Copies of this chain bind each other. A is one copy, B any other.
Amino acid sequence: MSFDRLIEKIVEMQNPTVAGLDPKLAYIPEKIKEESFKKYGKTLEGAADAILTFNKGLIDELCDVVPAIKPQCAYYEMYGWYGVRALDETIKYAKSKGMFVITDGKRNDIGTTMEAYAVAHLGETDVDGVKEEAFGADALTVNGYLGTDGISPLLDICKDKDKGIFVLVKTSNPSSGELQNLEFRSDETVYLHMGKMCEHWGETTVGKYGYTGVGAVVGATYPEMLTELRTELPKTFFLVPGYGAQGGGAKDCQGAFDEKGIGAIVNSSRGIMCAWQKEDGLDPMDYAKAARREAIRMRDDLKSVIGEMKLG
C-alpha cells in the first residue's frame, strides 16, 4: 500500500495533475448528446451513454500527458444505476490506457460496512468463492469523521492490493473552516488533528519515495494551511483540489510539494473538461483536443513553480 505507482507516473510525465471527470450534461457537446438520446431517449440511460462517450474521448487525448483521472461519484449516481455503470466503464477504460484512477466518493462508515466500501471501490468482491472486481480504482477519497474504525478496514484491503486512500483534511470550499478550523484546548485545529491521524494511520505503509498510502485532501484555496500541513505531515501525500475554477493558482499549490517536486497531485475538473467552451470558433467535437491543450498548459504552469520532479 503506497502511492509509489502514482508518484512514478507523475515523475515520468513530469506532470502532477489529475483530471477530474465530473461530467455534467452541460459540459458535453450537443452532437454527443443527440446521438445518445437517439439511441436511448432523453433518459438516465441516454445521459449515461453520452457521459461515457465524452469521458472516453477525454481519456484518449489525456492518457499520455496526465497521469491520473478522478471521477466524482455524485455526477454518475445522479443518472441512477445507468450512471454508475458509466462510472465503472470509465474506470476500466482509463485503466486500460494506463491511467491511475482515484474514485472521488468521500466514502465513510465503520467496520464491515467500511470494508464493503473498500472491497467495492479498491478490492475484489467474493461471490461464494469466486472473486471479481466491482469498480477496481487505484485510490478512493474518504471522510475520517468516524475515526480509526472507519479507516482500518480500508488499510487491509489497500495493503493486499497496493491501493491508496485520500482522507479529507482541509477542504477547498469557503465554509470548510466552520468545523475544520476550530481549535481544540491543545491549540490544535481540527484539520491538523485529522492530518496527524493520517500520518498515524499510514505509519506502516511508507513507500519507496517516503510517502504512505494514506493521503490527505488539502485545498489549494488555503495556501498557508497547505504549507503548514506539508511541514507537519512529511509522509502524507496530498490530493489538492481548488486549482483553476475554484480560484487557486500554481503559486497557491507550491506549498504542497517537497524539495524533490513531489508529494502532491493537483486536481482540475471544469478547467480541463470545459476548455472547449472557452476557445472561440472551435468545433465542439474537438473538446478533447482542447482539454489536452489545457492539461498541457496546466502542467507547464505547475512545473514553472515546482521545477523538475525527481524520484530520488
* Contact present for B106 and A173 (CB under 8 Å): no
Asked if A182 is at the interface of the complex by the 8 Å CB criterion, the answer is yes
Pairs across A and B, CB under 8 Å, 9 listed: A47-B128, A74-B116, A75-B116, A80-B134, A106-B108, A144-B179, A147-B178, A183-B185, A184-B185
A109: which of B33, B74, B81, B132 is its contact (CB, 8 Å)? Answer: B74
Q: Are B77 and A117 in contact (CB under 8 A)?
A: yes
| Structural contact, A176 and B114, CB atoms closer than 8 A | no
A113 CB–B CB distance under 8 Å: yes
Pick from A52-60, A83-91, A275-283, A296-304 the stretch touching chain B.
A83-91
Contact B171–A121 (Cβ < 8 Å): no
Nearest CB of chain B from residue A78's CB, rounded to whole Å: 4
> Are B33's CB and A128's CB within 8 A?
yes
Residues 108-154 (chain A) with a chain B CB within 8 angstroms? 108-114, 116-117, 119-121, 125, 127-130, 132-135, 143-150
Whether the Cβ atoms of A74 and B43 lie closer than 8 Å is no
Question: How many copies of this chain?
Answer: 2
Q: A174-208, CB under 8 A of B: which get 1 and which 0?
A: 11111110111100001001100100000000000
Partner of A147, one of B84, B119, B144, B173: B173
Determine the chain B residues whose CB is within 8 A of the CB of A43 once the complex forms.
127, 130, 132
Interface size on A, residues (CB 8 A): 73
B134 in contact with A83 (CB, 8 Å): yes
CB distance A110 to B44 under 8 Å? no
**How far is the CB of A115 from the nearest CB of chain B, in Å?**
8
In the complex, A47→B178 CA distance in Å?
Answer: 42
Chain B: minimal CB distance from A165 (Å): 15
Closest 4 pairs (CB-CB, A-B): A147-B175, A147-B178, A74-B116, A77-B120
Task: Tell me, yes or no, whether A42 is within 8 Å of chain B by CB.
Answer: yes
Which residues 22-74 in A have Cβ within 8 Å of B in the complex?
22, 24-25, 33, 37, 42-44, 46-47, 72, 74
Is the CB of A79 closer than 8 A to any CB of chain B? yes
Decide: B173 and A42 in contact? CB cutoff 8 A. no
User: Do B145 and A180 touch (CB < 8 A)?
Assistant: yes
Report B-chain residues with C-beta under 8 Å of the C-beta of A125: 44, 47, 78-80
